[in-house]
């Protein structure tokens, strides 16, 4: 079984490709499938974006609740999609799984367009298409290794796990919902509130209101808004455009 979290479709697409190659299914962690019983010889894979050199908040919550019922030994892997620096997401997965009595067999990375549009410009469709073409090669390579049940940490550009408490403190500050704003282009459709994975948005008087101090900062609302009315640090994201993976249904 392959489980995934995905804000803008990259990880969903990678999860579906991997699941198809394994003759398996890809299930979103937002379905809250915490109790998982594996068949004999079935693989268990987690496909996730990298957030702030680590795991997204919803993935951490999922792994802390996971109950994996096994028959014998199973191949367990994590594949994190990333834009520039995967950091310690593999190591964090290993730690969280170990707390649940599960041993991680392998960790992979798949480079894809970087949806952290505070920094990265995704306005050029040709450049983005080229990045997605390169990602296909990366996905194929990852699939080949998974099919061979390779063991080890195959991630690149790792950051030491020792700096995780520091980087996570910074991430917690950045995740303040005060940094997310909505402008006059909002048409009140409510999609952002409906799609937020941590229910941080409520519609009030036809406008989104962030009702939590902090959110997961996945950028799903920002990239899916039909009016591009949601920004982070205002101008920083406006000039870098919106992104959703072209291969998955939004």
Residues that bind ligand FMN (CB under 6 A): 6-12, 49-53, 81-87, 112-116, 217-219, 245
Stretch touching ligand SF4 by CB under 6 A, among 73-81, 90-98, 154-162, 191-199: 191-199
- Extended strands (E) in 42-141: 44-49, 67-69, 76-82, 106-111
Q: How far apart are CA 17 and CA 24, in angstroms?
A: 10
Stretch touching ligand SF4 by CB under 6 A, among 31-39, 98-106, 152-160, 194-202: 194-202
From ligand FMN, ligand SF4, none, interface partner of 142 (C-beta below 5 to 8 A by class): none
Give, in order, the Cα–Cα distances in Å from 96 to each of 18, 170, 176, 181, 234. Answer: 22, 20, 24, 33, 34
With binding defined as CB under 6 A, does residue 22 bind ligand SF4? no
With binding defined as CB under 6 A, does residue 56 bind ligand SF4? no
For ligand SF4, the binding residue among 77, 229, 231, 242 (CB under 6 A) is 229
Would you tell me how many other CB atoms lie within 10 Å of the CB of residue 112?
27
Nearest one of 233, 248, 247 to 117, comparing CA atoms: 233
For ligand SF4, the binding residue among 45, 87, 113, 208 (CB under 6 A) is 208
Give, in order, the Cα–Cα distances in Å from 118 to each of 6, 112, 190, 231, 234. Answer: 18, 16, 23, 9, 9
Q: Which of residues 81 and 142 has its CB atom nearest to ligand FMN in the complex?
A: 81
Contact positions vs ligand SF4 (CB under 6 A):
182, 186-192, 196-198, 200-201, 208, 215-221, 225-227, 229-230
């Amino acid at each position: 079984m392959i489980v995934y979290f995905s804000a803008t479709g990259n990880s969903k697409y990678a999860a579906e490709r991997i699941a198809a190659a394994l003759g398996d299914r890809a299930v979103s962690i937002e379905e809250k499938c915490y109790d998982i019983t594996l068949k004999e010889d079935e693989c268990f894979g987690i496909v996730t974006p990298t957030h702030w050199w680590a795991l997204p908040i919803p993935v951490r919550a999922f792994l802390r609740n996971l109950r994996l019922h096994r028959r014998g030994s199973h191949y367990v892997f994590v594949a994190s999609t990333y834009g520039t620096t995967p950091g310690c997401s593999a190591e964090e997965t290993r730690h969280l799984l170990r707390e649940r009595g599960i041993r991680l067999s392998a960790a992979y990375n798949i480079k894809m367009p970087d949806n952290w549009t505070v920094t990265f410009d995704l306005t050029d469709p040709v450049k983005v298409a080229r990045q997605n073409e390169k990602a296909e090669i990366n996905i194929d390579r990852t699939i080949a290794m998974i099919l061979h049940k390779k063991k080890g940490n195959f991630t690149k550009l790792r950051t030491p796990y020792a700096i995780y408490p520091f980087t996570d403190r910074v991430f917690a500050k950045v995740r303040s919902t005060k940094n997310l704003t909505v402008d006059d282009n909002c048409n009140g459709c409510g999609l952002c509130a409906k799609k937020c994975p941590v229910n941080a948005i409520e519609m009030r008087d036809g406008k989104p209101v962030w009702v939590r101090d902090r959110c997961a900062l996945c950028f799903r609302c920002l990239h899916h808004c039909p009016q591009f009315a949601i920004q982070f640090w205002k101008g920083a994201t406006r000039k870098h455009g919106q992104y959703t993976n072209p291969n998955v249904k939004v």
